[in-house]
Amino acid sequence: MVLSSRVMIVLVTLLVALGPLSTDMYLPSLPAMMEFFSVEVDQVQLTLSSFLIGFALSQLIYGPLADRFGRKPVIAGGMLLFALASLGCAFAESIEALIIWRFLQALGGCAGPVLGRAMIRDLYSPLESARLLSFVASAMSLAPAIGPLLGGYLVLWFDWQAIFILLVLYGLALSLIFTFKVPETLPQENRQPFRLKPTLANYGALLRNPHYMGYVFSCAFAYSGLFAFISGSSFVVIDYFQVPEQYFGYFFLVAIVGYITGSFLAGRYSRRLGLDTLVKLGLAAVLLSGVVISSVVMLEWYQVLPVFMPIYFFCCGVGVIMPQSMAGALAPFAHMAGTASALFGFLQMSCAAVVGIWVGHSYDSSPEGMLSAIALMGLLAPCAYFLLIERREGREE
């Protein structure tokens, strides 16, 4: 059975959406969790960072596993683990237990985004992969758009545990779909042996490749700026601006609409402009937005419009950068696309986890910590591209 590109976009979108659903949907409940567990902001924030750490580490295993055994069985097993860990989150009785269950939830959930991207690379050329990944990113943006709104009302109508019960059902549904309905996309001749020495050699080759690392860190820093907003937005909106939980999602939409705009434009113009031109345009957007955000911090101009308007344009840039940089990084590595995708995700999520912890520890009842982190990432992302890709290409010429 051969699936059409439209069906592939839907399936990969459902897989990639696991990440934002697992983080964004429960953002409105973070203040309620503080009260439920009687803990401080930085401890609750660790439930976000532990998820990212688990997401990052497990990608290093899922990529080689999928390159050896195929995408389908690994995805189905990962979704089942995600569902079971989500059930554990729902019934956690301490913040420490919730942090551990969130880590396990990520171990299962990360199979979706890593191998979803690899499935597209299995089936399509690099240019077509970039185009389809852009549309996946655009469609996937519905998850973080709907997630905080749905999460806010679930907290209002039931309690924060209801969010994780919904994730249990989502994970079980995906596990069944990939077990019984989706064909394998990795040809037998492209499978790699799952042995430690070849796996480490593949990772070493990727880490030594400046073009690959340039795309990775451009994306990682840009995404970390977005994650700084994800980590700090619920406290800034609900605590600082005194917005009720059920309305938090409307403020979060500013970032999501920006991301959707960027990813849609990237998909529409990828053939005309090319991958690297789009990456440069996205990096220009995050850099200029970071400069404006730095000015807001220096002037302490903490009002809704000056805080959220540059975040919108920053997220536009992230929406352009992420799918293009992923496609650019994976393009030369069709023989180990799963491994390349896994290392890409590991470095991206690790960077974001560190930034998320920083935002949690720096929160002082004002937007300063969150905005400072976003501004810094807006500077580092173009620096990574310039130093590792653009500058080296100039020397080679």
Q: Contact, 286 vs 319, CB < 8 A?
A: no
Q: Contact, 297 vs 163, CB < 8 A?
A: no
Q: Which residue has the tokens 């997220």?
A: 315
Mean pLDDT of 317-325: 87
- Which tokens sit at 334? 């069709």
Q: Which residue has the tokens 């976003």?
A: 374
Is a pLDDT exceeding 90 seen at residue 11?
Answer: no
Give the three-class secondary structure for 274: coil
The pLDDT of residue 32 is 79
The highest-confidence range among 5-9, 131-135, 243-247, by mean pLDDT, is 243-247
Mean pLDDT of 160-167: 86
Mean pLDDT of 246-251: 77
The pLDDT of residue 247 is 78
Q: Which residue has the tokens 């994650």?
A: 227
How many Cβ atoms are within 10 Å of 366's Cβ, its own excluded?
16
Instruction: Kindly report, residue by residue over 179-226, the tens digit of the pLDDT.
Output: 777 766 666 666 666 677 777 888 888 888 888 999 999 999 999 998
As a whole number, the mean pLDDT across the chain is 80
The pLDDT of residue 314 is 94
C-alpha distances in Å from residue 228, one per residue of 243, 340, 389 = 19, 25, 26
Q: Which residue has the higher pLDDT, 20 or 162?
A: 162
Is a pLDDT exceeding 70 seen at residue 5?
Answer: no
Mean pLDDT of 351-376: 83
d(CA 228, CA 375): 10
C-alpha distances in Å from residue 119, one per residue of 16, 47, 115, 129, 146 = 12, 29, 6, 10, 26
The pLDDT of residue 294 is 92
Distance of CA 225 to the CA centre of its chain: 11
Q: Model pTM?
A: 0.74
The pLDDT of residue 185 is 63
13 pLDDT band, cuts 50/70/90, is confident
Give domain 10-181+194-396's CATH superfamily. Answer: MFS general substrate transporter like domains (1.20.1250.20)
Lowest mean pLDDT among 1-5, 67-71, 181-185, 305-309: 1-5
Q: Which residue has the higher pLDDT, 65 or 130?
A: 65
Lowest mean pLDDT among 55-64, 180-189, 268-277, 284-293: 180-189
The pLDDT of residue 141 is 62
- Which tokens sit at 12? 């990969």
Nearest to 261 by CA among 282, 230, 235, 240: 282
Nearest to 359 by CA among 376, 377, 373: 373
- Which tokens sit at 10? 């839907």
The pLDDT of residue 2 is 54
Q: Contact, 126 vs 325, CB < 8 A?
A: no
85 pLDDT band, cuts 50/70/90, is very high
397 pLDDT band, cuts 50/70/90, is very low
DSSP state of 188: G
Q: Give percent of the chain with pLDDT exceeding 90.
A: 14
Mean pLDDT of 68-83: 82
Instruction: Kindly report, residue by residue over 21-61, the tens digit of the pLDDT.
Output: 787 787 788 777 887 888 777 788 788 888 878 887 887 77
